[in-house]
Structure formats: C-alpha cells, structure tokens
Amino acid sequence: MNALEINNLIMYYELFGGNKLMAINNISFSVEESKTTGIVGESGCGKSSIASTILKILPDNAKIINGNIYFKYGEIIKRSGKVDLLTLDKKTMQDIRWKGISMIFQGAMNVLNPVYRVGDQIIEIMRYKDNISKEEANEKLEDLCRIVNIDSSRMKDYPHQFSGGMKQKAIIAMALSTNPKLIIADEPTTALDLISQYNILEQIKKIQKKLNMSMIFISHNLFTVSNISDQVVVMYAGKIMESCEKKKLFENSLHPYSIALIKSCLSINDKKNKLYGIPGEPPNLVFPSSGCAFYPRCPYAKEICKKIEPEYKEIEKKHFVACWRYI
C-alpha cells in the first residue's frame, strides 16, 4: 500500500519576462507505507521543488499545471481513503500539514523564528495541531529532546544561541513533534560534518522504525540516500531518469546517468581510479532541448535520443527507467 503517490506532476516557475522554468516535468513515483523513498540528483534538478509541491508551500510564481498527489490518510481531514492534495482548499491543506506530512528542513536555512525560544516554537506547533495542554506539551518536548539527543534545558535558548548541529536536531524534533504519517527530509544532513551526519542519519532511521512513519529523503549525496532508502529515484533536469530498489541501483542500474552518477561516487573511494566526472554542463531548464534531457552528455546517445523523449517505463517489478536503450 502506498502512503503517497505522485502521478504525472508538472510544475514550472514563471520568470521575469514571461519565461518558464520547468522545475518538475511529468514526474510519477510513490512512497510505500513505513518505507523510505530517496530522491537523488544534482542541485537544481527539482528535488526540493517536489517537497515544496507536496506541502504546497510554493512561491506565488510557481504553477502546477498537471498531475495528482494522492495521500493515503484521508482520515486526518475526516475523509475516507486517499485524497488528492492538489485539489484540497487552503484550510484543509493546513490540517494536512504537520499532522499528515511534516518536513525536516535544511539546518543551514533560517527555519527557526529568531525572536522566540526554540522550545516555545516546538510547543506552539504541538498545541495547535494536537490540542494538548501546556503540561502535556512540555512532557512531550522532554521526550523529543531525548529522541534527538539534545539537552532539554537548551530548549529555553534562542535559535542564534544554537550551533548548526543543534539547530538541525531541533528541526528534526519539530518535524516529529506531531507524529506525522509521512516525513519529507530535504537535505537534512548536508550542512553538517561527517560524524554528525552519521549520527543524525542513524537517529532518523531509528525514529522512523519506532514511530512507523513513511519518508521521502532528498539529497544530492548518493551514499546518504542509498544508506537510508528502500527505493531510490534518480532525477535529472526535472525528470525521473530511473527508479529502483536500493540494491538494484548499485548492482544493475540501467540509465546512463545513474551509471555515471554511481561511477563518479565510487571513484572517490577507489584510490587507483582517477576522479570521474560527467562531461558537459547541467541542462538549461528554461529553454530545454527536444528529446532526452541527458542526451547532450550521454555516451550512448543515438539519433532518436535527440528527437524524441523516451518513455518512463517499468521494465521489471519496481524498476522504472526512461531510456531508449531499454525500449
């Protein structure tokens, strides 16, 4: 059973002067219940836009023109079965946020309100969402501090008194505070040093298992994503190139972009090999070329790749790919 299902989603940003930046170009994927789907891709490929689209916190110039986002837990807004988030009105969407879907933002971002105490901000959201008393909220805050491993006395501090790692932990605590069904983690470890990265990843994994939550994990780091996910989605230029189970990605990845990505990651660990990069430049999302988006950088490019975009197809169970080589 899927906790979240995205079908044929298209979203673009309208730019100054009337141009369109295609951030999400016909994307479909799903998140299984209490499993993790990882999204990997280079910066600017549209991964974070997916997170903002699911929660509907896009800026005014973003336009969603096609697609559905089905969310399984309609009971949160007193409906049965799955609901399409894109059809919900503002008020209902507000109820979905943080009760149904919450988000772990990047700690490097300025996510905490600088003029209120960190603890108060976490208590605030619990009290709005769960209608609990101050005492209950305080107790729960203590629990959360234990889970994410922060000294609970620090909750009386202001955000500027927190270090980067502590901010990230506080943000994770905030995302967990209301027991959401699905968590979107958008580069939750990118701003941290390696040791903290490892600790936080382990914590997130543990918490997820304990609370039985589904998760979307977004990162540009292939290793982090493959470490935590069950299913991996490889994105390029606002499109999904390949999607498969974690094991298959390393054993049997099919798309030339995935292969190149894995190769460039592995070469860091392998001392004998030279560093491997993908030749060419990232694609232009404002004036996309016809055909396959990866075509200009692809070593296997054929004439047809230039002209017609390959279809995104399931070639075996839970393994999707969009490439002319496999059609």
Partner 1 sequence: MIHVGFTKYITRRILEGIISLFVVITIIFFLFRVMPGDPVSMILDPKMTPEMKEMIRNSYGLNEPIFVQYGIYLKNIITLNMGNSFHYSKPVFEIIMEKLPNTLLLFTSASILASVLGIFLGRIIAWKRNSNTEYILSVVGLFFYNMPLFWLGLILIYIFSFSLGLFPIGGMIDYQLWSFNPSIIEKILDILHHLFLPLITLTVSSFCGMMFLMRTSMVETLKEDYVIAAKARGLPDKVIRNKYAARNAELPVITALILGISGSIGGGVLTETVFSWPGIGYELFRSTMERDYPLAQGCFFMLSLITIVSVIVIDVVYSYLDPRISYD
Partner 2 sequence: MIKDYINEIKEIFNENWPRFRSNKIGMIGLVILIIFLFFAMFGPIYVKIMGPEYLPVNGMDLSLEINPNTNSYAWPPSLKHIMGTDAKGSDIFSQFLNGSKLGFIIGISIAIGATVLGTTFGLISGYWGGTLIDSCIMRIVDIMICIPFLPLLIIISAVSGSMNLITFIIIMIMFSWTGVCRVVRSQTLSLRTRLYIDSAKATGASNCRILFKHIAPNVIPLSFYEMTMIVGAAILTEAGLSFLGFGDPTQMSWGMMINYCRAQSHVFKSLWWILPSGLGITFLSMAFYLIGRSFDEIVNPRLRKRK
**Which residues here bind partner 2, judged by CB under 8 A?**
14, 16, 18, 59-61
14 interacts with, out of partner 1, partner 2, none, CB within 5 to 8 A per kind = partner 2
Q: Which is nearer to partner 2, 14 or 157 (CB)?
A: 14
Q: How far is the CB of 53 from partner 2 (least distance, A)?
A: 17
Residues numbered 172 to 231 that lie near partner 1 (CB under 8 A) are: 174
- Structure tokens given for 91: 């008020």
Phi, psi of 130 (to 5 degrees): -110, -5
Q: Which is nearer to partner 1, 57 or 268 (CB)?
A: 57
Which residue among 23, 103, 182, 240 contacts partner 1 (CB under 8 A)? 103
Measured on CA atoms in the order 175, 176, 178, 180, is the torsion positive or negative? positive
Residue 77 interacts with partner 1 (CB under 8 A): yes or no: no
Contact present, 129 and 98 (Cβ < 8 Å): yes
213 interacts with, out of partner 1, partner 2, none, CB within 5 to 8 A per kind = none
Q: Which is nearer to partner 2, 13 or 71 (CB)?
A: 13
Residue 158 interacts with partner 1 (CB under 8 A): yes or no: yes
Selected range binding partner 1 among 19-27, 105-113, 141-149, 264-272, rule: CB under 8 A: 105-113
Which residue among 111, 147, 211, 301 contacts partner 1 (CB under 8 A)? 111
Residue 130 interacts with partner 1 (CB under 8 A): yes or no: no
The contacts found for 95-101 with CB under 8 angstroms, 24 or more apart, are: 96/71, 97/55, 98/125, 98/129, 98/178, 98/180, 99/129, 99/178, 99/180, 100/71, 100/73, 100/76, 100/180, 100/181, 100/182, 101/4, 101/54, 101/55, 101/71, 101/180, 101/181, 101/182, 101/183, 101/184
Q: How far is the CB of 50 from partner 1 (least distance, A)?
A: 14
Give the distance between the most distant pair of CA atoms in the chain.
67
Give CA–CA dist 253/321, Å, rounded: 9
Give CA–CA dist 51/49, Å, rounded: 5
Give CA–CA dist 255/322, Å, rounded: 7
Pairing of strands 2-14, 62-71: antiparallel
Q: How far is the CB of 105 from partner 2 (least distance, A)?
A: 20
Coil, strand or helix: which one is 36?
strand
Per DSSP, which regions of 200-282 are E strands?
214-219, 231-236, 239-245
Selected range binding partner 1 among 90-98, 203-211, 222-230, 280-288, rule: CB under 8 A: 90-98
Q: Which is nearer to partner 1, 32 or 95 (CB)?
A: 95
Residue 246 interacts with partner 1 (CB under 8 A): yes or no: no
Closest-CA residue to 226 (of 252, 247, 251): 247
Which residue among 47, 99, 140, 255 contacts partner 1 (CB under 8 A)? 99
Residue 88 interacts with partner 1 (CB under 8 A): yes or no: no
Q: How far is the CB of 95 from partner 1 (least distance, A)?
A: 7
Residue 65 carries which DSSP code?
E
Which residue among 15, 128, 313, 316 contacts partner 1 (CB under 8 A)? 128
Contact present, 77 and 268 (Cβ < 8 Å): no
Which residue among 2, 26, 94, 227 contacts partner 1 (CB under 8 A)? 94
Compute the residue count for the chain: 327
Q: Which is nearer to partner 2, 18 or 81 (CB)?
A: 18
Q: Which is nearer to partner 2, 3 or 11 (CB)?
A: 11
Closest-CA residue to 78 (of 69, 91, 63, 66): 91
Residue 140 interacts with partner 1 (CB under 8 A): yes or no: no
Using CB under 8 A, list all residues that contact partner 1.
55, 57, 93-99, 102-103, 105, 109-116, 124-125, 128-129, 158, 160, 174
